[in-house]
Structure 1
Amino acid sequence: MAKTLDLISVAFLVLVVVSQSESLKQEEEGDRISELPGQPKVSFQQFSGYVTVNKVAGRALFYWLTESPTSPLSKPLVIWLNGGPGCSSVAYGASEEIGPFRINKSASGLYLNKFSWNHVANLLFLEAPAGVGFSYSNRSSDLFDTGDTRTAMDSLQFLIGWLDRFPRYKNREVYITGESYAGHYVPQLARQIMVYSNKSKHPINLKGIMVGNAVTDNYYDNLGTVTYWWSHAMISDKTYHQLINSCDFRRQKESDECESMYSYAMDQEFGNIDQYNIYAPPCNNSDGSRFTRQSMRLPHRPHRVPISRLYVVNMQLSCIRANIFRQIAGYDPCTEKYAEIYYNRPDVQKALHANKTRIRYKWTACSEVLNRNWNDTDVSILPIYREMIAGGLRVWVFSGDVDSVVPVTATRYSLAQLKLTTKIPWYPWYVKKQVGGWTEVYEGVTFATVRGAGHEVPLFKPRAALELFKSFLRGTPLPKS
């Protein structure tokens, strides 16, 4: 009798496992992208959809996976996060930086990015937190009270749920990458994964992180930014000294005097420039007005970058100077507006399995609501860097050197506080026989600049960014020749 009961129990467990496996296969197949509107033919698989991270609040995060076209089963999983806070990884990372597609200037279709990072890895773009892009919460108060802690916790829950849906990735090497305010997201998620993996029977195989033009430390980021403006002749000596003397860079909210000095610098001294690349032309419309790339206030800084925005619905407003420069240098500063048209198309949303709940607001590259209501931000990420180094994670930090929003000086000031021993002294690294930038390898961290790149390094210097990424995955220093 006991043996019969044992056999019944085993049979029942087998049925449960098989049923769960079939359910997961159905979930995965439900997320498969057959083809996006206007997409060229590709040999790699794509998936996108939602993972619920909090059932009570009804929070669900949207993802887009683009696998590698060759041997995807042997390649690592790389998670990409954009910052803001409040900006979309689909709008930026996937559509104008490291993803396999670019959106054409009429927003009617896509063309291939020959420097896509999915040549060497499987790319998982995550829109986080809820309220960013297609990610949503059924509890509207979540959008008015969010921050670093919930973002990290929800992102961990997303990854756990996503790996259950895609079990073939469970033992794969995982790397987390991102830029700007993802200088918070990436290390914070890495720390959550480390804590989870230390307690779990099924640890996540996290190997390392890489962040670019990354928000790192309140004081040193702010000091480095003002220093960059002055050293690049964007502000006068008088304004520089007034900022240094009147601002307490450690404060969350600056004094009125300091705020007014920031405003004066931008309004009266910067001129009509793209702050994300001070040497590139801005995106100007045919009527002479300016289309401004989404500019968000960093939570620990004054309103030094104005949130001015043109939502473009009429494509007759053409980016004249942008098109001229694109023909010369391959860079188009109007790419963000193409994304806002393309991803609001109903046929695109249907192909992506996105916006199934009919969100009441338009898809935007960045959420001003989230940005203005960011109520929880770490003063410094440097303690997490020390934890990651102690935990044996690979840590790379890179910086486009013509970005004035989170500039190279800010990153260097911040990293210097770690007081790391130098393993390989400063040297120029090369791509296609040209200096791609400069680098120094420390005990625990590799730092690299990308010459001539703005805030979104892969947008401005795609070939150099891919070379940087390859070296990061190999764990080898950047090429000296």
Structure 2
Amino acid sequence: MTVANVLFLESPAGVGFSYASKSFDYTMGDKQTAKDSYTFLINWLERFPEYKTRDFFITGESYAGHYVPQLASLILSQNKNTNRTIINLRGIAVKHFDPCSSDYVLSYLNRAEVQEALHARNTSWEHCSGFDWTDSPITILPTINQLIANGISVWIYSGDIDGMIPVTSTRYSVNKLKLPVETAWRPWYYNKEVGGYVVGYKGVVLTTVRGAGHTVPSYQSERALVMISSFLQGKLPPSFTE
């Protein structure tokens, strides 16, 4: 099933195959990460201009609950400069497995032929790297409010068995936005089974994915596809009657 063109970005510098040529570039923070990601996107679109007119959505999981809204906010700000490439930002989705999957990924991405195929430099790939992090806001909710005010579609999704960022914690955070409910909390379905639950607020959709942990697609790939497809189409995940 073809849903979208996907561009994967390892961020910040030093994560995965990404690297910087100068050591001081590894002193990172939320703001610098957003700036670097924006610079990458602009340069990528200049290199592949056929994608400039496409609708653009940003998704992420875990600490990308900071990265994604802040990058979206920076895009909105920079789009006001008509002399620059305009990024057609339409929406964001933020996440606020197989226990051996990390081992599989580590082994696969450290194979020489895989690194060559990805045009990555010959290096030792690892999941996380230590950084001197310079800034991290206590809350990202004001940025979420800014995006809502600018008409950006905001989805927050959560695996219902996520022990790192539980659904309850996510609901408490969303409730602090004090948004009116447009669609009451209800189940959504895939393959005649409950795929998760969803509630539609004015400006934000909060959805869960049943049977998924912290990295949702690693646990429930098909349900995750239904969820992300609904996000891209601008509609809630399907009810039982659809």
- Return the TM-score normalized by structure 2: 0.95
Matched, 1:165 2:47: yes
1:46-95 residue CA offsets vs partner (Å, 9 max, x unmatched): xxxxxxxxxxxxxxxxxxxxxxxxxxxxxxxxxxxxxxxxxxxxxxxxxx
Partner of 1:388: 147
Matched, 1:207 2:90: yes
2:112 maps to which of 322, 343, 346: 346
Partner of 2:183: 424
1:344 to partner: Cα distance: 1.6
Structure 1 Cα separation of the partners of residues 211 and 108 of structure 2: 29
Matched, 1:434 2:193: yes
1:332 to partner: Cα distance: 2.9
Structure 2 Cα separation of the partners of residues 350 and 437 of structure 1: 39
Indicate the SS of the match to 1:125: coil
Structure 2 Cα separation of the partners of residues 161 and 414 of structure 1: 35
1:344-391 residue CA offsets vs partner (Å, 9 max, x unmatched): 222221111101xx55xx210221x12xx2221111110111110010
1:119-171 residue CA offsets vs partner (Å, 9 max, x unmatched): 2100000011111111111222332x211010000000000000001100011
What amino acid sits opposite 2:9 in the alignment? L
Matched, 1:458 2:220: no
Partner of 1:185: 67
Structure 2 Cα separation of the partners of residues 333 and 171 of structure 1: 40
Indicate the SS of the match to 2:127: coil
Indicate the SS of the match to 2:70: helix
1:335 maps to which of 101, 111, 119: 101
Matched, 1:376 2:142: no
Partner of 2:24: 141
1:432 to partner: Cα distance: 0.8
Structure 1 Cα separation of the partners of residues 23 and 205 of structure 2: 41
Q: What is the correspondence of 1:32-51 to structure 2 with a 5 Å cutoff?
A: none
1:200-240 residue CA offsets vs partner (Å, 9 max, x unmatched): 3431101000112x2xxxxxxxxxxxxxxxxxxxxxxxxxx
Q: What is the correspondence of 1:258-407 to structure 2 with a 5 Å cutoff?
A: 332-355=98-121, 362-367=124-129, 369-370=130-131, 373-407=132-166
Indicate the SS of the match to 1:459: helix
Q: Percent identity?
A: 51
Superposed CA RMSD: 1.3
Matched, 1:131 2:14: yes
Indicate the SS of the match to 2:9: strand
1:15-44 residue CA offsets vs partner (Å, 9 max, x unmatched): xxxxxxxxxxxxxxxxxxxxxxxxxxxxxx
What amino acid sits opposite 2:47 in the alignment? R
What amino acid sits opposite 1:345 in the alignment? R
Matched, 1:197 2:49: no
Indicate the SS of the match to 1:178: strand
Q: What is the correspondence of 1:238-253 to structure 2 with a 5 Å cutoff?
A: none
Structure 1 Cα separation of the partners of residues 178 and 24 of structure 2: 41
Q: Please say which of residues 158-167 and 332-341 is displaced more in the overlay.
A: 332-341
Indicate the SS of the match to 2:67: helix
1:385-432 residue CA offsets vs partner (Å, 9 max, x unmatched): 111001001111111111111111111111111000010111111111
Structure 2 Cα separation of the partners of residues 210 and 186 of structure 1: 8
Q: What is the correspondence of 1:92-107 to structure 2 with a 5 Å cutoff?
A: none
Gaps of 5+ in 1: 1-117, 215-330
Matched, 1:447 2:190: no
What amino acid sits opposite 1:446 in the alignment? V
Indicate the SS of the match to 2:32: helix
What amino acid sits opposite 1:340 in the alignment? L
Considering only CA atoms, is the larger Rg found in Structure 1 or Structure 2?
A: 1
Structure 2 Cα separation of the partners of residues 459 and 429 of structure 1: 20
Structure 1 Cα separation of the partners of residues 133 and 197 of structure 2: 34
1:433 to partner: Cα distance: 0.9
Count of residues in correspondence between the two structures: 239
Structure 2 Cα separation of the partners of residues 137 and 363 of structure 1: 15
